[in-house]
Structure 1
């Protein structure tokens, strides 16, 4: 058994390093974003990338998809996109005289939902069942999705023209929300030199298959979480629900996803157990997009609201008691 565990640990480290390196050759100078995408993949969550146009949101999603030998579909969310385009529709077959299901774009291992907030909330909600239950129900019949299943969605900030706010239920289904940010001067200059005539995405070759991803997920599931760590995660979530400056706190789903993400985070660090720092490192990307500040706390602009919630989470991390014994 110890030898088998060592082999699994070595395979996990070697394979995740290879995935990160493949993505890193496309996304220059953004190791945190690459790591977050990998965490979502291996924690069976979904990733929301929010930032201004042109900073590499879709490139990150495509690079992750290209590094995995699995089915990939891209959905360009536009105002005229219909829910059936996402989930699929039943079409009458005159030969067999019965309706048959035509799968939509969501039937893939990795689904890139590009500019998700440019479609109406009705179309956005077509992903709700798929993201939570791994299935799609059309005309009363449920159709299972492939495993692993990951949605990587990009969106522009709400203050930009032509965007719709994601409903609370939709945001809560994303394990993490991250921002890319602008590259520093050196990486931007490197990008100019390297990408003038060559598309780095074309050079990516899959480094892992769908079956191997499932094996990595299985390894991460068995990372140990002590009862004290579980209580710490619950305390962090409860603090958001009782904070006077928040009118919507973290859901129980958020608590569950925080712990799942922390397991992968610990495994990427080479540990077989979660420590408190794993939770606090992930607190912002896992919790922030689910919280809604009171109107008095945020002011009128969405960006001010983001900054307010970040400050609230920092105060919560500082005030919630950190467990000392983390391996029992």
Structure 2
């Protein structure tokens, strides 16, 4: 079994416990292979947390969940220096917080104040945490998966633009279809009907089939070698440029966009396009790979104007218009 087959097998195992949310499974794998962090947004009960747990459960990795609340402190995430006494003497030692894991679920990240949210910034960007003047590196395999509820406003703190820009992709989860809803009911019922012995055997089987971390690192090496033609790089740059100077493309588009995206969007485009091409069995990027990830790469970085909001437009509609206007190489 080659590296890509290992990854596709991981995707299949994840899909066995997630019904009707194929996109989030694909995007979770894409973020993992691109070595990036994801912001997952959706109403309660749409399998955000379940999908993330399915990824961690099927990998040989350490998983931690941080439930964000208004009274959370930065040290609750990063850890802190603690005074320990022993027969040999006394000293301050660093007790690691839950951020020190391979896959970190930051659940309802918008429920914590800005100071706590910013505690994630260094870990997400620099892959290290500094406490009491000492730097503590993260694990080589490290990924933050943050969730938030898009409609609840009471007791929430919107993420600042500086932190939003550090997420590789923004994934929005919608309601499943009626057919998928039936499958969800049957899946949960089946899980409840399994006896304890069968559950234990199932956990043992999952442990035996977990994807090793070496497979992820091998996949990243292969993805790094995926060819990107100069015309594709220009296509990515043109899309990003269109968000900054929309008046050069369309007068109506200009009225919809308040602030364009940063160069981090171009970098994310390049990474995610290569991952999408690799997952589809190609060693080169096509324009459809760029378009496939456009909404996830741009939606959380694009600032819409009041006019766009007044017209009931969301980022997805604006991005679709940009894709229509920018010439395909």
Q: Which residue of 2 aligns with 1:309?
A: 315
1:20 corresponds, among 4, 11, 26, to 11
* Range moving further from structure 2, 13-22 or 92-101: 92-101
Aligned pair count reads 309
Q: Which residue of 2 aligns with 1:99?
A: 92
CA drift of 1:28 comes to: 0.7
The reply to whether residue 271 of structure 1 matches residue 282 of structure 2 is: yes
* Range moving further from structure 2, 106-115 or 207-216: 207-216
The reply to whether residue 115 of structure 1 matches residue 126 of structure 2 is: no
CA drift of 1:277 comes to: 1.0
Contact 2:107–2:147 (Cα < 8 Å) also in 1: yes
Residue ranges of structure 2 left out of the alignment (5+ in a row): 247-253
Structure 2 Cα separation of the partners of residues 193 and 92 of structure 1: 52
The reply to whether residue 126 of structure 1 matches residue 132 of structure 2 is: no
Structure 2 Cα separation of the partners of residues 31 and 73 of structure 1: 23
CA drift of 1:158 comes to: 4.4
Q: CA-to-partner distance for each residue in 1:115-142, whole Å, 9 max, x for gaps? A: 1111112111111111111111112221
Instruction: Specify the SS of the correspondent of 1:188.
Output: helix
CA drift of 1:309 comes to: 2.2
Structure 1 Cα separation of the partners of residues 115 and 267 of structure 2: 27
Compute the TM-score of the two structures, normalised by the length of structure 2: 0.89
Q: Which residue of 2 aligns with 1:72?
A: 63
CA drift of 1:92 comes to: 2.3
Structure 1 Cα separation of the partners of residues 272 and 168 of structure 2: 8
Q: Which residue of 1 aligns with 2:250?
A: none
CA drift of 1:297 comes to: 2.5
CA drift of 1:281 comes to: 1.1
CA drift of 1:160 comes to: 4.0
Instruction: Specify the SS of the correspondent of 1:69.
Output: coil
Contact 2:43–2:151 (Cα < 8 Å) also in 1: no
Contact 1:77–1:115 (Cα < 8 Å) also in 2: yes
Q: Which residue of 2 aligns with 1:251?
A: 262
Q: Which residue of 1 aligns with 2:164?
A: 171
5 Å matches for 1:1-20? 11-20=2-11
Compute the TM-score of the two structures, normalised by the length of structure 1: 0.89
Contact 1:50–1:156 (Cα < 8 Å) also in 2: yes
1:227 corresponds, among 225, 230, 233, to 230
Contact 1:50–1:155 (Cα < 8 Å) also in 2: yes
Contact 1:18–1:207 (Cα < 8 Å) also in 2: no
Contact 1:258–1:286 (Cα < 8 Å) also in 2: yes
1:285 corresponds, among 276, 279, 296, to 296
Instruction: Specify the SS of the correspondent of 1:178.
Output: strand
Structure 1 Cα separation of the partners of residues 307 and 110 of structure 2: 26
Q: CA-to-partner distance for each residue in 1:294-320, whole Å, 9 max, x for gaps? A: 2232239xxx4xx33222211211111
Structure 1 Cα separation of the partners of residues 95 and 282 of structure 2: 44
CA drift of 1:13 comes to: 2.4
2:38 corresponds, among 30, 35, 47, to 47
Contact 1:51–1:155 (Cα < 8 Å) also in 2: yes
Structure 2 Cα separation of the partners of residues 112 and 51 of structure 1: 15
RMSD between aligned alpha carbons? 1.9
Q: Which residue of 1 aligns with 2:49?
A: 58
Contact 2:4–2:219 (Cα < 8 Å) also in 1: no
Residue ranges of structure 1 left out of the alignment (5+ in a row): 1-9, 324-328
